[in-house]
């Protein structure tokens, strides 16, 4: 007996990239979303009208679960991350997943480190100074810290002056 493997094919051209699709909320009400998910699920699963269709379990058959989620991804242009797959076990879970607005991506850690008062006492972060790429500042202007790529050069010279010969170093 041959086993068929369900393979997710990439989204069609013109759809959103994964980063864009995670950030875009759906503009459907919950009722409209339920109707669309039910239509997709009835083409794949046998669903009777007399029972509560949102309680139909899909976690026991991974192929059906994959097909339904693939159709939802195509329809709503929002991808389901792999860490959310375990929490989706019924058709109602699919509706609630696509109804909740996507969480914004976690912010960078770097802006949080700029405020030294929020850091623990035993942690200090030296922020690098960078040249502004649009400014045309020569590298030779070391004496003026405002126009230098190395604003603390004088302090560095004093710190290492005694260790190395040159510029008054005595070694």
Q: Span 21-36, mean pLDDT?
A: 77
43, two tokens: 């083409």
Burial zone of 21 (CB within 10 Å; 0-12 exposed, 13-18 middle, 19+ buried): middle
pLDDT at 45: 84
| Most confident stretch, 23-37, 39-53, 57-71, 137-151 | 57-71
Whole-angstrom distance, CA of residue 92 vs CA of residue 55: 6
Tokens of 106: 């976690």
What is the tens place of the pLDDT at every residue in 150-162?
A: 555 666 666 666 6
Integer-rounded Cα Rg, in Å, for the chain is: 29
The pLDDT score that the predictor gives to residue 96 is 92
> In this model, does residue 140 exceed pLDDT 60?
no
Predicted confidence (pLDDT) at residue 127 exceeds the cutoff of 70: no
What per-residue confidence (pLDDT) applies to 13? 43
Residues 64 and 45: their CA atoms lie apart, in Å, by: 7
Which distant-in-sequence residues (6+ apart) come within 8 Å of 148 by Cβ?
Answer: 137, 141, 142
Range list for CATH 1.10.1200.10 in the chain: 18-99
Give the pLDDT mean for 112-128.
Answer: 73
Band (pLDDT 50/70/90 cuts) for residue 36 is very high
pLDDT at 1: 42
Residue 153: its pLDDT value, please? 60
Q: What integer is the mean pLDDT of 133-160?
A: 56
Percent of the chain with pLDDT over 90: 11
**What is the C-alpha to C-alpha distance for residues 6 and 135, in angstroms, rounded to an integer?**
54
Q: Is the pTM of this model over 0.85?
A: no
**Domain 18-99, second-level architecture:** Orthogonal Bundle (1.10)
Q: What is the pLDDT of residues 70-97, one digit of tens each?
A: 999 999 888 888 888 889 999 999 999 9
Measured CA to CA in angstroms, residue 34 lies from 43, 160, 166 at distances of: 14, 70, 78
Helix (H, G, I), strand (E, B) or coil at 22: helix
SS3 168: coil
Residue 137 has phi, psi (to 5 degrees) of -115, 125
108: pLDDT strictly greater than 50:
no
């Amino acid at each position: 007996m041959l086993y068929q493997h369900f393979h997710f094919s990439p989204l069609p051209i013109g759809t959103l990239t994964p980063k864009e699709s995670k950030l875009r909320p759906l503009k459907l009400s919950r009722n409209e979303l339920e109707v669309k998910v039910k239509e997709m699920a009835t083409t794949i699963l046998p669903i009777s009208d007399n029972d509560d269709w949102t309680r139909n379990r899909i976690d026991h058959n991974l192929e059906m679960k994959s097909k339904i989620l693939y159709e939802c991804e195509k329809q709503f242009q929002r991808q389901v991350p792999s860490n959310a797959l375990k929490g989706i076990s019924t058709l109602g879970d699919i509706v609630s997943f696509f109804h909740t607005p996507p969480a914004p991506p976690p912010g960078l850690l770097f802006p949080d480190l700029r405020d030294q008062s929020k850091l623990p006492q035993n942690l200090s972060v030296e922020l690098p100074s960078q040249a502004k790429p649009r400014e045309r500042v020569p590298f030779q202007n070391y004496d003026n810290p405002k126009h230098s790529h190395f604003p603390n050069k004088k302090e560095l010279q004093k710190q290492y002056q005694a260790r190395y010969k040159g510029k008054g170093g005595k070694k």
